Amino acid sequence: MPRRILILAGTLALLLVMAWQFPRLSCSEPLVESRASPPEPVPLCPWREPDADMHALFPGGTHYEAETRILSGLRVELEERLGRRPSAEESALHLFRIYRDQIPLGTVVTRRVKGDYGAIELVLAIGPDQRVRGWRLQRSREPEPVLEALLDPGWRRSFEGKGADSPWQLGLDIPQVAPVAAGSAAAVVEGARSLLILMAATDQSSSSSRAPPPHPHS
């Protein structure tokens, strides 16, 4: 009799332990980890009017050669130089090398930045000295008062001659604009600064690739 009681008590104890463990097992993490799909690459900003821009920004230019530099291997350096984590769009850079016949004149780079009213597309001309020669907006949704401030000739000229090591600060080396345009102006300034830093980084990149291969465009 005592033996049967011991067996029943042991069985009951085992059932109680299993009942206590079951909710914990059912709420535990799944054995197969679920991973979210990686984000799709951000498309780089295209150069929409190359012929018109080339002749305006590099008078005498006869053609350009396109290449793409991959910067994903320089994220630590870029984070330090940019003062922030590089965006997905900053993992690569389109370069459009401008030539007069076989003589290099400089480079055009493009960037999409976030203005107060939507995307602003910036076309930046950089000379062989890695300094700004000029720039233009190729697309923008900003209202007329904002565009008027951004396209002011004096404000645009303030970018010229600046490099990756310039302060790039509104009110310091870049003039202030009307308050209505301050947010969009700051985005354009930061976009130009970032492009120059990415350009400087391409000279140190050992993981560059060319896509498509350089080819002349008349």
Residue pair 121/192 in contact (Cβ under 8 Å)? The answer is no
Residue 124 lies in a domain: yes
Give the pLDDT score at 212: 52
Give the pLDDT score at 26: 41
Query: Tens of pLDDT along the chain (218 residues)?
Result: 455 554 555 555 555 545 445 444 343 434 333 344 444 455 889 999 999 999 999 999 999 999 999 998 898 999 999 999 999 889 999 999 999 999 999 999 999 999 999 999 999 999 999 999 999 999 999 999 999 999 999 999 999 999 999 999 999 999 999 999 999 999 999 999 999 999 998 876 544 444 455 555 65
Give the pLDDT score at 205: 58
Residue 33 lies in a domain: no
Give the pLDDT score at 202: 82
Give the pLDDT score at 57: 97
Residue pair 156/134 in contact (Cβ under 8 Å)? The answer is yes
- Integer Cα distance of 181 and 173 in angstroms: 17
Residue 30 lies in a domain: no
List Cβ neighbours of 216 (8 Å cut-off, separation of 6 or more).
63, 64, 65
Residue 29 lies in a domain: no
Structural domain including 72 reads 50-202
- Integer Cα distance of 124 and 127 in angstroms: 10
Residue 26 lies in a domain: no
Residue 35 lies in a domain: no
Give the pLDDT score at 80: 92
Residue 43 lies in a domain: no
Q: Where are the alpha helices (H) located in 83-180, listed in sequence order? A: 144-150, 153-157
How many CA atoms lie within 13 Å of 56's alpha carbon, on the beta-carbon side?
14
Give the pLDDT score at 30: 40
Residue 146 lies in a domain: yes
Q: Report the number of distinct structural domains present in the chain.
A: 1
